Structure 1
Amino acid sequence: MAWARRLRMRHLESFLILLDAGTLSAAAQRLHMTQSAMSHWLGEMEALAGARLLVRGRRLQLTPAGDAVRKLALRVLGEVSRAHEELGSIAKGAVARLHVGSVFAGVAHLVPRAIVSFQQAQPNVQIEVTEGVFNALLERLERRDYDVIVGSIDARAYGPHLAHEVLFEDGIGVVVARHHPLAGRQRIAWRDLFAFPWVMPPRETLMRTRLDTVLLERGAAGLQPRVETGSVLTLEAVLRGTDYIGVCSGAMARHLEALGLLRVLPVADAESFGPVGAVWRQGGAGEVVHAFVRSLREEAARLGLEEGQGTAGS
């Protein structure tokens, strides 16, 4: 541990700048150093770590030791940034700050309701919510950008440093504009949908993977979307002016129908999408995180969603 004690914040910051720049000369310009000074600095870093961190070439490449230092830098600098924000919040009268990442199914109703319920009990906690796809949210959770994320629970939530709780089971929701030719039908088969253009979730999402499997099983493996988007606003706006078929989570579909924006089609043998739950870092969550998870659990029950099915990894 002696080498770590000699590390300074500037070492970690400069190392990430060097990786982003890709070359010693580009990094030297950003750090207002000469290239020789930058090379000397890198040598000092490698001497501190006792291992080669980068392979020098036309573009620098990380060694396994360098990747370990990169992860260390992201963790440490992330925690320092969080501490800075929390100190600022305390100075303004707030006792804590909670960063929540959520997929769109959670944002539909569960996360907003949980926030309201949570802040009634803890009004001095500031909450920041970011929406995104689960892959990106999980990566940022591991970098400590978020305290807790709400998303689709799959094998990735069983990571060795993660804990999770299932909140409800979601399904695949098929939605259309209120004026759509299929909007008044009482029962719809999958084949009835294939004559219309589609709006689908992006390819890298779990929802899209599940949808592609369903289409393959229904004989529509070659069906290509006219639009791919993870934005609920874009989905609603495109459908409102067209006869397109849209796909989103069942929770979001019901929410959009309740608002009078879209219609949920009663598709026969509609498929389950899978469980949606909360994920947080094991051992790194304080009482504020656990209190927010309790609010999520309670709101899921009030909304008539399936109750949480226990915790894992805790």
Structure 2
Amino acid sequence: MAWARRLKVRHLEYFLILRNAGTLSEAARALHMTQSAMSHWLNELETLLGVRLVVRGRRIRFTSEGEVLLRLATRLIGDIARTQDELELLAQGAPASLHVGSVTAGLAHLIPNSICSFQMQVPQIAIHMTEGAFSLLLERLEGRELDIVVGSIDARAYAAGLAHEVLFEDRIVAIVGLQHPIRQKAKPLWSDLVPYPWIMPEKNTLMRNRLDTVLLENGGAGVRPRLETASIIIIETVLRQTDYVAVCSASLGAHLHRLGLVHALPLTAGFGPVGAVYREGDSHPVLGDFLAELRRQADRLRTDEAGPGVVL
């Protein structure tokens, strides 16, 4: 561990800048150094660790040892930045904070209800929400920018250093506007929706892949989206003005149906587990309490009566 005692935060900061820059010259420019000084610094770091960290070329390529150091740098610099933010907030008299990420399309009332109930119990905690794609949220979780990610989870939740917990199994449901002609059909089928214009999730998402499979199985192999979006606000607004068809998670569809914003059709298909992902061994003081609240709300979600035609 001799190298660890001699390692400085500056070494890790520069190494991350080198990763983002891609070349020694660009990294040197970002750090207001000469390229020779940047090269000397890198040699110093490699000598300190006793391993080769990059392969020099037109663009640098990180060795396996370099990738290991990058992961360490990401964790430590993220922790330091987060600690600095919290110290500044506390110095200003602001409350302690919990940073939560959720998938872009939202999770019906699971997250909002969890936040409301949790802050009634722990009013001194400020919660910061970030929405985005699952892969981007995981990157921010690993970089210490987020404390927990809640959403539809897949194999990426099993990555080293991460822990996860399944909260409930979700489905996808077809939704339309309140005046859509398909509502006149007593028992609509997925095949009945094929001729209508579609609002689809973005490509390469779990929900889009599942929808493509359902359409393929029901004669919709050639169906193309008229609109691609993950925004439930855009989906709900467009459905109210058109005869478009869309899908969302069954839990969200039931919630929107109850509010009278859309009509959830009695057409569902398996989707996958919704869960929480967090860093293994995270010592955040209230993370465990927030997880417990998520479990309670997920239990309520499973036992609540669904809207007409919706199966959770």
In structure 1, the residue matched to 2:40 is: 40
In structure 2, the residue matched to 1:289 is: 287
* Segment of structure 1 superposing worse, 24-33 or 160-169: 160-169
Determine the C-alpha separation between the residues in 1 that align with 2:44 and 2:159: 34
Q: Is the Cα contact below 8 Å between 1:197 and 1:243 reproduced in 2?
A: yes
Q: Is the Cα contact below 8 Å between 1:93 and 1:124 reproduced in 2?
A: no
In structure 2, the residue matched to 1:149 is: 149
* Segment of structure 1 superposing worse, 278-287 or 72-81: 278-287
Q: Which amino acid aligns with 1:52?
A: R
* Segment of structure 1 superposing worse, 87-96 or 171-180: 87-96
Task: Show CA shifts across 1:195-220 (max 9, x none).
Answer: 01111111222112222222222232
Aligned with 2:127: secondary structure? Answer: strand
Determine the C-alpha separation between the residues in 2 that align with 1:104 and 1:185: 32
TM superposition shift of 1:90: 2.2
Determine the C-alpha separation between the residues in 2 that align with 1:16 and 1:286: 25
Q: Which amino acid aligns with 1:278?
A: A
In structure 2, the residue matched to 1:125 is: 125
TM superposition shift of 1:248: 1.2
Q: Which amino acid aligns with 2:76?
A: V
Aligned with 1:178: secondary structure? Answer: coil
Aligned with 2:149: secondary structure? Answer: strand
In structure 1, the residue matched to 2:300 is: 302
In structure 1, the residue matched to 2:182 is: 182
Determine the C-alpha separation between the residues in 1 that align with 2:104 and 2:23: 39
Q: Is the Cα contact below 8 Å between 1:240 and 1:262 reproduced in 2?
A: yes
In structure 2, the residue matched to 1:247 is: 247
Matched ranges for 1:1-314 at <5 A: 1-94=1-94, 96-104=96-104, 106-267=106-267, 270-305=268-303
Task: Show CA shifts across 1:116-154 (max 9, x none).
Answer: 111111111111111122222223222222111111233
Aligned with 1:108: secondary structure? Answer: coil
* Segment of structure 1 superposing worse, 86-95 or 224-233: 86-95
In the alignment of these two chains, the number of paired residues is: 304
Q: Is the Cα contact below 8 Å between 2:239 and 2:245 reproduced in 1?
A: yes
Determine the C-alpha separation between the residues in 2 that align with 1:241 and 1:105: 20
Task: Show CA shifts across 1:32-54 (max 9, x none).
Answer: 11111111111112112212211
Determine the C-alpha separation between the residues in 2 that align with 1:138 and 1:206: 15
**What is the CA RMSD across the aligned residues, in angstroms?**
2.0
Q: Is the Cα contact below 8 Å between 2:105 and 2:231 reproduced in 1?
A: no
The alignment-based identity, stated in percent, is 56
Determine the C-alpha separation between the residues in 1 that align with 2:157 and 2:130: 19
Determine the C-alpha separation between the residues in 2 that align with 1:186 and 1:292: 43
Q: Is the Cα contact below 8 Å between 1:161 and 1:282 reproduced in 2?
A: yes
Unaligned runs of 5+ in 1: 307-314
TM value normalised by structure 2: 0.90
Determine the C-alpha separation between the residues in 2 that align with 1:304 and 1:60: 51
Determine the C-alpha separation between the residues in 1 that align with 2:50 and 2:200: 50
Aligned with 1:225: secondary structure? Answer: coil
Determine the C-alpha separation between the residues in 2 that align with 1:147 and 1:304: 25
Please list every run of at least 4 consecutive aligned residues from structure 1 whose deviation after the TM superposition is greater than 4 angstroms: none
Determine the C-alpha separation between the residues in 1 that align with 2:137 and 2:229: 17
Q: Is the Cα contact below 8 Å between 2:105 and 2:230 reproduced in 1?
A: no
Q: Which amino acid aligns with 2:207?
A: M
Q: Is the Cα contact below 8 Å between 1:86 and 1:97 reproduced in 2?
A: yes
Determine the C-alpha separation between the residues in 2 that align with 1:238 and 1:9: 50
Q: Is the Cα contact below 8 Å between 2:191 and 2:215 reproduced in 1?
A: no
Determine the C-alpha separation between the residues in 1 that align with 2:33 and 2:135: 37
TM value normalised by structure 1: 0.89
Determine the C-alpha separation between the residues in 2 that align with 1:66 and 1:107: 38
Determine the C-alpha separation between the residues in 1 that align with 2:183 and 2:130: 32
Q: Which amino acid aligns with 1:293?
A: L
Unaligned runs of 5+ in 2: 305-312
Q: Which amino acid aligns with 2:269?
A: E
TM superposition shift of 1:2: 1.4
